[in-house]
Amino acid sequence: MQKIMVIGAGQMGSGIAQVCAQAGYSIVLNDLKTEFVERGLAVINKNLSRQVDKNKLTAEQRDEILARITPSTTLQDAEGVDLVIEAAVENMEIKTKIFAQLDEIAPKQTILASNTSSLPITEIAAATNRPEKVIGMHFMNPVPVMKLVEIIRGLATADEVYQTIEDITKKIGKVPVEVEDFPGFVANRILMPMINEAIYTLYEGVATKESIDEVMKLGMNHPMGPLTLADFIGLDTCLYIMETLYEGFGDPKYRPCPLLRKYVKAGWLGKKSGRGFYVYE
């Protein structure tokens, strides 16, 4: 494994590209438009420059890492890579379309991984003719800081493919945890219902948003309250994952709170839109 293509230069994709480049891999950072890729590269540069300021990297090391990243706006660039990590928008239709195209373009031995946070790997793999080479690599946000990667086997994922991805995960300084292919995996199956319950607590008038967040910070030692966290994740993403859980299990305990739906319909998506449960400048 020497060359990795990362699809999606947003917050997650740029973070994945950064940690892989820091570990010595050659990276192709792909997105739909040049400005998206440039924005991702600017974020990586900013992150690495911060490390230089803290004397954790030299300016030369930063430049070497950046030099390992090649910008791309066409999936055709998957022709020469050993691994693809897809970090596109959390939407099954978009992901299956990307994987079907990659299956046509990438060499037969290339492993195709998805950074999906909740969608079934088995279904994504079914869009290809190489389901044994499709796997989930769910990184946590922010990628350069968070240690965990959930590695999800699809129904057909080969053992040697799993082992290769586990080894790469360790090489880039992360901790791999093996997870079976169920909606939400482990992280979001536990986290999202907690966030949803916090929204219900607000919706039912049990306490103010500040009080709910304070209880979880001071009482449960969480670094940030669930409503603040929801704003950081994006309320549209929270809603999408809750709907995936609700649809996947058919259990009413996963029903998204009506207040969450209301905020998303209003365009109050959290920090990225300037307003969610809190207002951001």
| pLDDT value of residue 176 | 98
Q: Which of 150, 166, 214, 281 is catalytic?
A: 150
Instruction: Kindly state the greatest CA–CA separation across the chain.
Output: 56
Where residue 91 falls (left for φ over 0; alpha for ψ -120 to 50; beta otherwise) is: beta
Report pLDDT for 154. 96
Q: What is the pTM of this model?
A: 0.92
273 labelled catalytic: no
For the domain with range 187-273, which CATH number is right: 3.40.140.10, 1.10.1040.10, 1.10.10.10, 3.40.1390.30?
1.10.1040.10
List, for the chain, all residue ranges whose pLDDT scores fall below the cut of 70: none
* Catalytic residue selected from 30, 115, 188, 196: 188
For residue 1, the model assigns a pLDDT of 86
Sorted by where each begins, the domain ranges of the chain are 3-179, 187-273
Q: Is 222 a catalytic residue?
A: no
Model confidence pLDDT, tens digit, residues 206-252: 999 999 999 999 999 999 999 999 999 999 999 999 999 999 999 99
Q: What is the pLDDT of residue 271?
A: 95
**Annotated catalytic residue, options 114, 117, 118, 196:** 117
Class (C level, CATH) for 3-179: alpha beta
Stated as kind and residue range, the H or E segment containing 19 is: helix 11-22
* Annotated active-site residue in 72, 86, 138, 196: 138
- Cα–Cα distance list, 185 to 23, 117, 192 (Å): 27, 8, 11
